[in-house]
Amino acid sequence: MKKEEKAVLVISFGTSYRETREKTIDRIEKQIREAVPEYKFYRAWTSRKIMEKLEKRDGEHIADIKEAMEQMAADGIREVVVQPTFILTGYESDRMEEEVRKYSGSFEKVIFGKPLLVSKEDKRSVIETLEKEYRPGADECLLFMGHGTEHAANVLYKELDELFEEMGLKDLYMGTVEGDFSLMYFLDKIGDKNYRRVRLAPFMIVAGDHAVNDMAGDEDDSWKSIIEKADYETKCFLKGLGEFEPVRKIFADHVREAVCICETKG
């Protein structure tokens, strides 16, 4: 099949924070382009609220899934590899696949790549990267802020917490904005430890609103403020997962895997 008839569609939730977008989503897209240069590149975001904000504030239009799928069909694309930049397969991923499948009849093949964390190898790679970056001192612990979900996929955060212990990283903890791993659960867990300071880092692809405001903000209900009220010092890091090359490599590997499936599937 000709190059111009094959495409990769990278789908992200999106962010209105330009600086973190340039360091995360844009770099992930670049690495995916380089991983499969024989495929034409398209992008789409899923957050209507963010896309509308960008259009109003910056005059920048980002395609949604419908627009991207229709554009690829109009461009004569016959085979599509869809690569999400999601961490896990949750509600957002389910909605994304459902929307893509509405237009799959316009193509000969539509193959989905995996989100970031599926295999244990990928999980260990990400944990090792983050531990090296944020390694807590003798009187410190490191708390990640994940998004969390009511979806069954929320078990991922439990698996990561268990991996910390399995890897001997006893001072690493996972928390989530939604779901089971609440901030209060974390504070209860470290109540009998001799920590003086808590390091906070987002476990999200971008360091957007959750990281800037819910985690590191100065409002009384931010994680930083609540932890300080519990008599711990805090240090916040605003670095999305997409800023780390090993994370971007996982997405590139997943898109290559999906391309191989696409090329062998009849």
Catalytic residues: 147
CA-nearest of 101, 109, 82 to 12 is 82
Between CA 182 and CA 212 the distance in angstroms is: 18
Per-residue tokens: 120 = 């244990």
**Cα 14 off chain centre by:** 10
Per-residue tokens: 14 = 């999106």
Instruction: Provide CB contacts within 8 A for 186, sequence distance 6+.
Output: 143, 173, 175
**Cα 182 off chain centre by:** 19
3-state secondary structure of 247: helix
Contact by Cβ (8 Å): 218, 228:
no
